[in-house]
Structure 1
Amino acid sequence: MEPDVEKVPTGDKADPSVNLSPVDYTPPPKRPLKHRIGAVIWDSLDKTPEERKFIAKIDWWIMSYCCVAYFVKYLDQTNVSNAYVSGMKEDLVMAGNDLNLLTTFWTVGYIVGQVPSQLMLTKVRPSIWLPSLEIAWSLFVIGMAGAKNTSTLCALRFFVGLLEASAYPGIMTLLGNWYTPMELGKRSCIFQASSSAAQMFSGYLQAALYSGMDGRAGLRAWRWLFVFDGKSTPPEALQDGRGIIGIPIAMYGYWAIPDAPTDSKARWLKGEDRDRAIGRMESCGREPMKKLTWKIIREIATSWPVYLFCSIFIAHVLGIRIYSYMNLWLKATHQYTTEEINIIPTAGYGAQIVSTIIYAWTSDAIQSRWEIIIVACLIAMAGNIILSVYPEHNTSAMMAGWMLTFLETGAGGLIITWINEICSHSAEHRAMIIGVVETAAYTFNAWVPLLIYNTGEAPHFSIGYEMAAMFFAIEIVLTLAILYCSKKWPQGRKGEVAGTPGEPDAGM
């Protein structure tokens, strides 16, 4: 769906090096079928050889770092759940809501770090800021392997969350600085899928450690998980020649991250590459980062995107929280071994990767975000309805319900993509709104799960499954509200025509 306004073409519909006014623009002739098919399969296949080469280059450097770094970040973020069902609960005498408390302390740190990190990105180059924080949080994850009690784990989890707060909003902002609307959905969701791969890998890693490393060097298997996720080794292992393997990832980031097209110092970008990158962003009205002022802050605070996107992301984050408790249900059935409890949920993460990629390709193909978000919510709602009925003696039905709850996660990448597109007119708006949206969502994520997903009630939460279904329903309503507002009050400079340079494509 497109606004009934003549628009300057973006992505594959225009020469990215030319910034045309509405008066100058003449609609291009209809492209051959093979070009249209090529654009759906991969958005550079119908472009000129020069632009294909350029997109391949930025894909190689930007996406390789973003996906690997986020994979590692998500390993560090989610390993607690695997450790909990693999001996940590018994060794540290954890009970009641202790697992949720560990998540809450991480979330509080994540909340505190969001907006300051995004502010720092307006002053410090992403190529310096993001890799440096990755090194720092890795050291805290390593420290978790030596924790002797829950209090120590809670303190370390706070600092891990504080430092990891830079990753998701920072990388999403970076992607918005380099990719056009025809390209951004795929890249955002591929990046999002790396978190699913990390959770999938964490289950396999914990299962392997439980069967092969339990007791090695005096460490239980769950402690080895933190050692490996921290990308380091204990002193005993250093004597065998094994060392830190995570620092090279951060070092690669110092080289790979190109900052923004207008001020990039990346050595792998040639002069003509920078000119092309700047032209591509100008052609879709995506302006470079400028100085953050109080005027811009007031504009953000008095515009609708920050409030509606905060609301929809809160509902999204609270809804998808439910699938992280699948391993608690598996353990409560007493039908599975510890290795199986860690491995079975990886099928959900695999389905999550596939569904996220399908959402991305479909969304970019139809150049719309809202329909796909609604479809994802309906799928997850169906899963939560099954779980709320709780057919505990029908293992197949319960398993199907759990698997469906995994399939909404990819909508998160599309929501952030939508922010980048609606706020194309201002890099400062994009960076700050993404930061505020993440902060708001995880502020609620810090305390709401303690009430509705109390792990002391697991695996049959009294209201948890019903509340998760409600959150997805709210997300659908808010998606339609954003669609309406994006048409009624399009963002951009006063007096500009919606969809022209300086005014974003709202992703419709």
Structure 2
Amino acid sequence: MSSLKESEVRTQNIDINSEPEEKSKWKILWQKHKSKLWDTLDKSPEERRVMFKVDWWILTYACLGYFLKTLDQTNFSNAYASGMKEDYGFKKNEYNLASATMFNIGYIIGQVPSQMVLTRVRYSIWLPTMELLWGIVCMCIAATPKSQHGIHVIYALRFLIGLFESTSYAGLIGLLGSWYTPLELGKRAGIFQISSSVSNMFSGYLQAALHKGMDGRLGLRSYQWLFIFDGIITIPIALYGYLSIPDSPANTKAWWLKPDQKELMRNKIAAAKRAPPKKLTWNSLKALFSSWPAYLFPACFICHVSAIRLYSYMNLWLKYKKFSVTKINTLPTAGYGIQIFCTIIMAWTSDAIHKRYPLIITFTTISAIGALILTIWPSSTSAMFAGWYLLFCETGCGILFMSWINETLAFSAEQRLVCIGLTQTLAFTFQAWLPLIIYNTGNAPFFGSGYPVAMSLFLAEGFGSLIIAYIIKKENTGFTWFFSRKYNDLKLVNKEQIKDDHIIEQNHMDIEQRV
């Protein structure tokens, strides 16, 4: 009897003692992995305060700016499906010429020059000024005459919108790359990308609401109110940019950062081996164009941009299936919800595992399956919806490539900016003419070869990311590809020098890890 009581007492003691142990295990687990949830959670209180400021001021403007840029682009598609086609008398490929080709020509012309301007002009001046201009031009579309002449005027306005908007995406990516380390950049870039998806969702619901409540007000159609509303909300965001953008850590004049906080950010970015901006020189341009990033990243991004263009035609399929105007504008928003979910997975996971390519391969494969379904063209409407929605999953891969460029060219701010601009330019050069061939809206939604071509582009993009990962892995072992990318100059170096430099860098990394 006494032995039984002793056993019960021991069991109770074990249970009592196990509770603190369980709590301790969870605490240790939280301390170990909390930075994967959000990277400032394991930082000092002072650094957390500084990063909160940087996140707030940069991300609010970047996300709002990208939100409006995407809204400008999607509103034309929604307007076309909400009565603009019939009012203006669009025929054959005139919609593609207005929505894609003319816009992309302006976008292409402006990309690289804008990035070059940013090596000499502050972000806080250049980006908001261009945003102000595109907001004004966007409102002008509402005033165009509903005729063939009006279509020609729209061509010119879409060109100007593309020209002014060309500064936004690449410029904001460069801004993010200047302030965040590789362990932080993916998540911030993911949030930045999500603002585009939210904008796409918002545009659909906005057009549906305007069609219901504003169509015919003051003699204007609902799609005209969409252009006006878009321009009106762009102007205050542009003014906000003059106050919020901090330029780069090396030359920031941000009023919301104290001198010691500016110094903390400079030291942090320097420790991440992120070079401060310098004036663009011919030598740095030669160095960039003598290295593989100037070719492989654009090639992958061309596949990305050309393939995801397909999901923007979902509303034309819905129109062919005779859905109501409200459903034509709102059903694609579910795809943007999927897009947001997938982007969060990509951004957080790629930062946590310190690799971009596994996520790119995974999601390009998923969207390739969606394109395969549309290639088969099943009789089931549910299967067709699944095919369209799967196309949305891959969109976040674009921001992973841009983060990857920032990390790969960390040693040179000038090469980073130009490579981002070049990548965007070449991708949109293809988008200016390729959709006219593979996604001919005169045949919509029966694009024929367009669906298998999109599937091939998704798969090529994933394979390209694998090649980039292999090259970077080889470089990290000391291998050089004739020219060393670690110099911001055109210097021919021998392999022994590269090997010695790699050993020195590895020793520094080992010391930092031990500390």
TM-score, L = length of structure 2: 0.87
Measure the CA separation in 1 of the matches of 2:213 and 2:462. 45
CA–CA separation in structure 2 for the residues paired with 1:497 and 1:117: 35
Aligned to 1:285: 273
Matching residue of 1:366? 353
- Give the AA of the match of 2:85: K
Tell whether the 8 Å contact from 1:110 to 1:442 is kept in structure 2 after alignment: yes
Q: What residue in structure 2 maps to residue 295 of structure 1? A: 283
Structure number having the greater helix percentage = 2
Q: 1:410 maps to what in 2?
A: 396
What is aligned with 2:89? 93
Alignment of 1:136-175 (within 5 A): 136-148=133-145, 149-175=150-176
SS of the aligned residue for 2:76 comes to helix
Q: Which residue of 1 aligns with 2:5?
A: none
What residue is the counterpart of 1:258 in the other structure?
246
Is 1:497 aligned with 2:466? no
Paired AA for residue 107 in structure 2: Y
What CA deviation, in whole Å up to 9, does each residue of 1:260-288 have, x standing for no partner?
A: 10100011111111111111111111010
The aligned residue for residue 448 of structure 1 is 434
Query: Which of 459, 463, 466 is residue 445 of structure 2 equivalent to?
Result: 459
Q: Distance in 2 between matches of 1:499 and 1:299?
A: 23
Q: From the superposition, tell whether residues 498 and 177 of structure 1 become closer, same or farther in structure 2 (CA, over 3 Å).
A: farther
Amino acid at match of 1:351: I
Q: Secondary structure at the match of 2:71?
A: helix
Q: Compute the displacement of 1:499 (Å).
A: 9.7
Distance in 2, Cα, partners of 1:35 & 1:50: 18
Per the alignment, residue 310 of structure 2 pairs with 322
Amino acid at match of 1:58: V
Matched ranges for 1:327-346 at <5 A: 327-334=315-322, 336-346=323-333
- CA deviation map 1:23-45 (0-9, x unaligned): xxxxxxxx943223211111111
Correspondence for 1:381: 368
The one-letter code sitting in structure 2 at the alignment partner of 1:346 is T
Correspondence 1:215 to 2:216: yes
Larger Rg: 2
In structure 2, what residue type is equivalent to 1:210?
H
Identity, % of aligned positions: 51
User: Alpha carbon RMSD of aligned pairs, Å?
Assistant: 1.6
Check conservation: 1:285, 1:500, Cα contact below 8 A.
no
Relative to structure 1, is the Cα distance of residues 286 and 439 closer, same or farther in structure 2, using a 3 angstrom cutoff? same
1:247 Cα deviation after fit: 2.3
SS at match of 2:179: coil
Which amino acid in structure 2 is aligned with residue 305 of structure 1? P
Distance in 2 (alpha carbons) for counterparts of 1:160 and 1:339 = 27
Q: Deviation per CA, 1:281-328, whole angstroms, max 9, x where unpaired? A: 111110100111110010011100010001000000001001000000
Q: Which one of 18, 36, 41 corresponds to residue 40 of structure 1?
A: 36
Map of 1:397 onto structure 2: 383
Match of 1:355 in 2: 342
Structure 1's 331 and 425: CA in aligned 2 closer, same or farther, altered over 3 A?
same
Structure 1's unaligned 5+ residue stretches are 1-30, 232-244
Report if the CA contact (8 A) 1:390-1:460 is conserved: no
Q: Give me the TM-score of the superposition, normalised by structure 1.
A: 0.88
Partner residue of 2:52 out of 44, 56, 65: 56
The residue aligned with 1:483 is 469
Please state how far the C-alpha of 1:73 moved relative to its aligned partner: 1.2
How far apart, in 2, do the equivalents of 1:473 and 1:353 lie?
21
User: Match for 1:469: what amino acid?
Assistant: M
Q: Aligned residues, how many?
A: 458
Tell me how far 1:136 sits from its aligned partner: 0.5
Q: After superposition, what is the alpha-carbon deviation per residue over 1:342-366, rounded to whole angstroms, capped at 9, x for unaligned?
A: 0000110111111111111111111
Q: Summarize the Cα distance change of 1:317–1:92 in structure 2 as closer, same or farther, 3 Å threshold.
A: same
Question: Relative CO higher for 1 or 2, CA cutoff 8 Å, sep ≥ 6?
Answer: 1
Q: Distance in 2 between matches of 1:408 and 1:152?
A: 34
Distance in 1, matches of 2:38 and 2:281, equals: 38
The one-letter code of the counterpart of 2:410 is S
Q: How far apart in 2 are the matches of 1:191 and 1:116?
A: 23
Partner of 2:4: none
Kindly state the Cα deviation for residue 487 of structure 1 after the two structures are TM-superposed: 2.2
